[in-house]
Amino acid sequence: MPFVSVTRLRLRSLRYLPAFFLYTVPAFLQVKRAQGNLAVDALNDANLTFWTKSVWKDDASMRAYMLAGAHRRAMPKLAGWCDEAAVAHWTQESAALPDWKEAHRRLIAEGRKSKVKHPSAAHEAFEIPEPRC
């Protein structure tokens, strides 16, 4: 069954935006051609918040992408740049991307906080506003 990954992160300052794009644009290009990736989308939300959702052939395909190339280089940086970060994974019958409303619902219901060095109060409380679509 297809495996879905949803991520949300918020940069803690505008000063991290140039470096964020320097690292994440190559990671987004990498995911588009990653083996086992069935679909991907990203959302530039309000308040320096960024969402991704992707559908994979299986969990192993997603993990192979996550631990390689541009994505692997970006991951350690995000803990210092972000004050909020969360991820959710699940399997589903369809290879279609969930809509943003469903991605948000699943992130709240089944997600977990990612480690950040400077967590906001919202991160600590796992309060995730609905994405602005």
Per-residue pLDDT, 103: 98
Kindly report the average pLDDT of the chain as a whole number.
96
Measured distance CA(124)–CA(90) in Å, rounded:
23
Tokens of 52: 């991704």
* 38-69-89-55 Cα dihedral, nearest 10 degrees: -10
Domains in the chain, ordered, with CATH? 3-125 (3.30.70.100)
Q: If pLDDT is split at 50, 70 and 90, which confidence band does 128 have?
A: very high
Ordered alpha helix ranges (H), 1-130: 17-32, 59-66, 69-81, 100-110, 121-125
**pLDDT tens digits, one per residue of 72-102:** 999 999 999 999 999 999 999 999 999 999 9
Instruction: Give the residue-averaged pLDDT of 110-119.
Output: 97
Q: Which of 28, 66, 53 is nearest to 104 (CA)?
A: 53
Per-residue pLDDT, 133: 76
What pTM does this model have?
0.94
Percent of all residues in the chain with a pLDDT value above 70, rounded to a whole number = 100
Measured distance CA(112)–CA(73) in Å, rounded:
22
Instruction: Give the residue-averaged pLDDT of 30-52.
Output: 96
Per-residue pLDDT, 18: 97
Per-residue pLDDT, 32: 93
